[in-house]
Amino acid sequence: MGEILLRLVCGVKPIASILVSIVIWAPNSLHANGWEHTAVPIEALEVGLAQGNETTRTKAAESLGVRHDPRSLEILLGHLGTGETSETVLSALFHSLGHFPDDATRIALETCIFESEYPNRLRAVCVRSLGRIGLGEESLISIVADPTPRIIRLAAAEGLSSARSAAATRLLSEILSNRDASDWPRMFPRAAASLGEIGSADAADALSTALTATSDPRERLVIANALARAAQPGAVDVLLSALEEADVAELRLSLTIALSASQAGDGVTALLSLLDDPVPAVQLVALDGLLKHGSREGIQRVAERAQDYLADLQVELDRTDPDATTAVAKASLAAQALRVLHEIRPDSGLDAFLAAAALVPPEPSNLAALRIRSAVYEVRRRGLYGMGYVQENRDVIDMLSGSTGLGDPDARIRAVAVRSLGVIGAHEVEDNLIAALTDPSSEVRWTAAEVLGLLHAHQAVDDLVLALDDADPLVRIAAANALGYIRDHRAAPGLSRAAEDDDPRVREAAAIASSLLDH
């Protein structure tokens, strides 16, 4: 969702958007360097740490940290006693110790912090690792409370993110409110982030108080991000009040993310109101929040907005030269609204599902058209998928079995249509599903076989037997499974042949299906 949000907030161009979204959403690599996999034995890493040059020793120390093997800890602690002098190697070593929550680790890290003559930047690495192991809370509190070098205090405030004591929460709360401190501009974001990670009701209260006390958009942005981490219901009123005052798109988005994360019952009404927010990204996050809540309250409003999004998308598609960024953003909103309807109350989304399935994607004439086509596919897929959960409706069956379903030129759409007809239990279109067994797409063929089995379609037995000779083993497996479900003795000869198939998975499926014919 990262790239989509960036486009919806500020219209970032595609390539830049992707690059930024990778930076925002990429997981911590844990110092991955190519040696962290088990193909490099620990014994080799031990030799590399002991005898290699500085680069080799650094990579060995990093890699030992991500192994989570008790032998790694012994090797790392043992190397501390060798008189290692390279700050680069020591930094990697102390960082790796942060992966081993052990008393021996705590002692080594506290020795680094309080008793060594290491430079402050290296001691700060030890402080962060102490925070990660979750065993040195008292030490971290003492560091933050004392006038130690700023780089070490910052690391300790960050390390308290794993703290659970009331003392840690109080100390971090005091940092938020002590604007007179000389290092407050640097300590404030670290303290706020740690309170968010702690996530207790008291931590959320401290953040809410700080949010109320400031009107600075940048400070509010920091606090909103922390409240999103805390995900406490008690922050709803403060977040709503801040939203009423916020006129910066990025801040409104962060406040909405926090409101969505709170999952408080009284937040549903607020999230519904945000579906009309002038910032499209806020609308997208509000829809995600409604999905997390799972409440049927106001679901009709979601259905109305889904129709609006689809109409807006259609207007863009009708243009001679539709803008890809705009079309993809509108499609993202439509797809998310359809997902909310499908997962919470499908019958309320019938009109939206039908409208989504009827969209016509542009021809893939250029890169922009391909992007739009991909986004429109997702909208159509959501619509067809949702139809499967709307029962006993003739319009749905006609759409799924017609030119925008089983007859669509896109094989992926045909496969979704087949699946939805199976979910509905549409016996009246079994002939259409049998015809799908010879579709050019193997995905459509094996989906059709699965559905015919679930429908216990006896009239499909002969065609399913023929499908046992399909070129794709997945189709053969699905056909065998389907014949097992139907339990018709006409399938016995075909299943006997399939029991000698070259693919062991097909043989197994055929054997099981044959055993079911007698039950």
Model confidence pLDDT, tens digit, residues 125-139: 999 999 999 888 999
Place of tokens 């702690």: 198
* Amino acid 8: pLDDT: 53
pLDDT of residue 62: 92
What integer pLDDT is reported at residue 14 of this predicted model?
35
Which tokens hold the place of 455? 């429908």
What backbone phi and psi angles, to 5 degrees, belong to 30? Answer: 55, 40
How many Å apart are CA 223 and CA 444, to the nearest integer? Answer: 49
Q: Is the pLDDT of residue 227 over 60?
A: yes
What does the pLDDT look like over 451-507, one tens digit per residue?
999 999 999 999 999 999 999 999 999 999 999 999 999 999 999 999 999 999 999
The whole-number average pLDDT for the span 221-233 is: 86
CATH level 3 topology of 426-519: Leucine-rich Repeat Variant (1.25.10)
Task: State the average pLDDT over residues 176-198.
Answer: 90
Task: Report whether 239 contacts 268 (CB < 8 A).
Answer: no
Count CA within 13 A, CB hemisphere, residue 69. Answer: 16
Cβ pair 378, 402 in contact under 8 A: no
CATH 1.25.10.10 in the chain is located at: 426-519
pLDDT for the residue numbered 148: 76
Lowest-pLDDT range, 29-33, 328-332, 407-411? 29-33
Question: pLDDT by residue (tens digit) across 401-412?
Answer: 999 999 999 999
pLDDT at residue 17, as a whole number: 34
Gap between the terminal Cα atoms of the chain: 49
| CA dist., res. 5 & res. 285, Å (int) | 8
415-462 pLDDT, tens digit per residue, is: 999 999 999 998 999 999 999 999 999 999 999 999 999 999 999 999
Asked if residues 501 and 507 have their Cβ atoms less than 8 Å apart, the reply is: yes
Please check the confidence at residue 69 and state whether its pLDDT lies above 50: yes
The mean of the pLDDT values for the chain is 88
Both tokens of residue 439? Answer: 């579709």
Q: Whole-model pTM?
A: 0.73
